Amino acid sequence: MKIGIYPGSFDPVTKGHLDIISRAEKLFDKLIVAVMVNPDKQSTFSASERVEMLRRATSSLPNVEIDSFDGLLAEYAKIYHATAIVKGLRALSDFEYEFQMALTNRKLNADLETIFLSTNAENMFLSSSMVKQVARFGGDISPFVPSCIAKDIQQRLLQEREAKRESNQ
């Protein structure tokens, strides 16, 4: 059984991620989308919230499983005997960082390959941070995130902004 892992912080999942998931799931018998920890980032949504949003966004994709893991990606891949890690490449600026991660992961787990899928042109400049910024200021995020989770993200971030405003007064 060929198992692929698509890791990320998915804080929150966007249409850019979904595009990669729907293309990558065709390459494996099972694709595990893993909500992982990037220690350089402060997440907005909890791991369980991110898992739940991913589950809703991928409910029509039978080969996709959603999980979360707080540890090394190379170790996680060993546990599941994964064939490859899948990453989406947006622009040239992603390349150096992704290449560094791919080589580090292969040093930690010699059997682990990283496969890069190119992001669709329309998602080239999309990021989870950009989505959160638009939502916090009341902008329409429906072009950027799966429709089934857009309202929840918007509500949650507007409430958060309102609560911050009140605590600052």
Amino acid at 8: G
User: CB count, 10 Å around CB of 143?
Assistant: 12
- Round to the nearest angstrom and report the end-to-end CA distance of the chain: 57
Q: Is 72 in the site for ligand COA (CB under 6 A)?
A: yes
Whole-angstrom distance, CA of residue 36 vs CA of residue 50: 10
Residue nearest to ligand COA (CB): 16
Q: Is 2 a catalytic residue?
A: no
List the catalytic residue out of 15, 50, 87, 128. 128
Find out whether 72 and 35 touch, Cβ atoms under 8 Å: no
Regarding 118 and contact with ligand COA (CB under 6 A), the answer is no
Site string for ligand COA, 18-57 (x = CB under 6 A): --x---------------xxx--x----------------
Q: What is the dihedral sign for C-alpha 111, 97, 124, 39?
A: positive
Quick one: which of 121, 137, 118, 147 has its CA closest to 14?
Answer: 147
- Residues 49 and 53: their CA atoms lie apart, in Å, by 6
Among 4, 5, 16, 25, binds ligand COA (CB under 6 A): 16
17 noted as active-site residue: yes
Stretch that binds ligand COA, among 52-60, 122-130, 133-141, 155-163 (CB under 6 A): 122-130
Per CB under 6 A, the list member of 33, 88, 135, 157 interacting with ligand COA is 88
Q: Note whether 129 binds ligand COA by CB under 6 A.
A: yes
**Is 119 a residue that touches ligand COA (CB under 6 A)?**
yes
AA letter at 83: T
- Cα separation of 140 and 125, whole Å? 16
Catalytic residues: 17, 41, 90, 128
Interaction site with ligand COA (CB under 6 A): 7-9, 11, 14, 16-17, 20, 36-38, 41, 72-73, 88, 90, 101, 104-105, 119, 123, 126-129
